[in-house]
Structures are given as structure tokens and as C-alpha cells.
Amino acid sequence: MTIATDRRSATGLLTPLLAGALVMVALGVYGRVHTPTGFAVGPGGFSGALPMKSWLTTGAFVLAFVQVVSALSMWGKIGVSIPAWVHRWSGRVAFVLTIPVAFHCLYALGLQYDVPRVLVHSLLGCFFYGVFTAKMLALPRKGLPGWTLPLLGGGLFAALVGLWLTSSLWFFTTIGVRL
């Protein structure tokens, strides 16, 4: 690649990254200025909102590992062949599982900063959706640097692991495992 080609491919990444940054900031601002309602989503078969959020996040957390292994397979980094549809569908399902959780967190609780664990959790939630936006916008683009998708996917994985650690693991070890 020439320097001009490198610049063009890096410039093509600018739009997805800017869009992701806007999503991240917009969620954070909304979460901070919105007056929390205390309730947003019915627990739908769970005993309450916290167990619902913990279990849905755990489902997304498990599927994040499927995402990593299937991505490694698609890139030929492991000796196992996993169909590409496993990666696509595990990602879709993981994302769908996060939607009621994020909606409840933003609408019912808002972005909180008084407890360090909750602040980290709030910031990771905004980061997760910002990186998700950037990755989805980068996927169809041709000519991006080869590190783009692994870096964005790794950011998504790291954010989801951090979200699980600061929410579900905290809930299961502090409150207990319950539906």
C-alpha cells in the first residue's frame, strides 16, 4: 500500500468512528440530563428488573465468547471451521439481549456517577453502543485497514465483559442468583 492509499483507508474509518463517538456522547448526555423514572421495562418472567438485567447481560456475555471464537475461525486463526452465520447470529442475539437492559438503565436509572462501580458501568454502556455503531458502519466499507474490525470487535468484547463484571457479577455475588 502507498501512503495515499493508507490515508484514504484511514479516512474511510473517520465516519464510523465519528458516528460511534456521537452515539456514545448522546447516550451519556441523555442519561445524565434525563430525570430517572425508577421504572422502564417490565421484568417479563423475572422476579424484578435487576434479575432480568443480570440474566440478559449474562446471555450477551456468553454470546460475546461465541463472537470471539467464531471471529477467530472466520479469520483463520484457529483450526476449527465455524460457519459465518454463527458469528452473525450470535452477535444479533447478543445485541438484542442488551436492548431492554440499556433502555432500563438509561430511562429508569440514568447515568450515575456517585458510586465508582456504577460510574464505570454507565460509561462502559455508552462506550459499548458507540463502538457497536462504529463497527456496524465499518463492516460494509471496503479498503479499511486490516486491524479495523478486530479492534472494534475487541472493544465490543471488552466493553461487554466490563459491563457484566460491573453489573451481573456484582448482582449475583451481592444479592444472589435468582430469577
**Percent of the chain topping pLDDT 70:** 92
Tell me how far CA of residue 152 lies from CA of 35, 50, 138, 160, in angstroms.
32, 29, 9, 12
The 10s digit of each residue's pLDDT in 60-70 is 999 999 999 99
Please spell the DSSP secondary structure of 112-149, one letter per residue.
--SSHHHHHHHHHHHHHHHHHHHHHHHTT-SS--TTHH
Closest by alpha carbon to 131, among 100, 163, 108?
Answer: 163
The 10s digit of each residue's pLDDT in 148-159 is 999 999 999 999
When the pLDDT of each residue in the chain is averaged and rounded to a whole number, the result is 89
pTM: 0.88
